[in-house]
Amino acid sequence: MADDKQKAAETQPITLVEAVTQALSYELENNPEVVVFGQDIGANGGVFRATDGLQQRFGTDRVLDTPLAETMIAGIAVGMATQGLRPVAEFQFMGFIYPGLDHILSHAARMRNRTRGRLGCPIVYRAPYGGGIHAPEHHSESTEAMFAHIPGLRVVVPSSPARAYGLLLAAIRDPDPVLFLEPKRIYRAAKQPVPDNGEALPLDSAFVLREGSDLTLIAWGASVKETLAAAEQLSRQGIEAEVIDPATLKPLDIHSVIDSLEKTRRCVVVHEAARFGGLGAEIAAQIQEYAFDLLDAPVQRVTGYDTVMPYYQLENTYLPDVERILAGAHAALDYSRKPEREGGR
């Protein structure tokens, strides 16, 4: 009877934020080196309740509340990691992470190189990120490209409960620092069964969420939802789009993208971050560098705008929606090279 109850619990559908809690609980239970800490993550269970119940279960030595001091949180994690622990440090919002940049960029990301391999820095820096919950300024940041630019730092973004669970396990077990960005717009948007079996998903590998032969759509985090919806609408028009979720934004699995382009020859990249300097530009650059001959049209980008996320009423206008993704898809599909002039001019 106990086994039946356990199996039922393992297959009970859960949300993305519950999958984060489940992964943290598994690692705290099975790895004594794991320590979780951040602002209000202990007694209150975090601002989004991602650590709810963990301090009560594992104690204040393993799940620690910190002062409101992001610089301290980032720096303590470096010290812990170099001395044999595996810290998981939470920032309440991505918009609050910037005071900790010096420790993340100058120390955590450089530790292996600085010590010529003698020391790793197995840290997971967690942060809810992105828009879609009508939060005030500084609560809706999507600056993943800034961190993806830093050598030595992985950047991972889950887009479903199962991927949140498996990728967070992999991030905690990785010997180097990982920035784990959790798209809060889909924290509770959907549920799926996620067995609590401790099985990690591979980092640095993209996920093909939908196969197709006419167009490649690339999206991550919360934008995956609208991208899949757009793919379904395209299918009803007789257009089969392949949907790829990179999941690990740095290092990027460009090989899976190129494999897809060998079939589709057209590509649209979707992200809610601002357009200029976003990850879509890097993906487009790598495509033209490594697979230019495969393209029948320029890579299209459907993104946020080059402005601060507008507050409340205009937020949904800022975020890429299904209609904008469809417009980008048709721009790629309708593109045709101009015919050569007579005489080759």
Active-site residue set? 139
Contacting residues for 110 by C-beta, under 8 A, at least 6 apart = 152
Contact by Cβ (8 Å): 24, 36: yes
Contact by Cβ (8 Å): 181, 155: yes
294-298 LR contacts (CB < 8 Å, sep 24+): 294/258, 294/261, 294/262, 294/265, 295/261, 295/265, 295/266, 295/267, 296/265, 296/266, 296/335, 296/337, 297/265, 297/266, 297/331, 297/332, 297/333, 297/335, 298/332, 298/335
Which residues share a beta bridge with 38? 65, 90
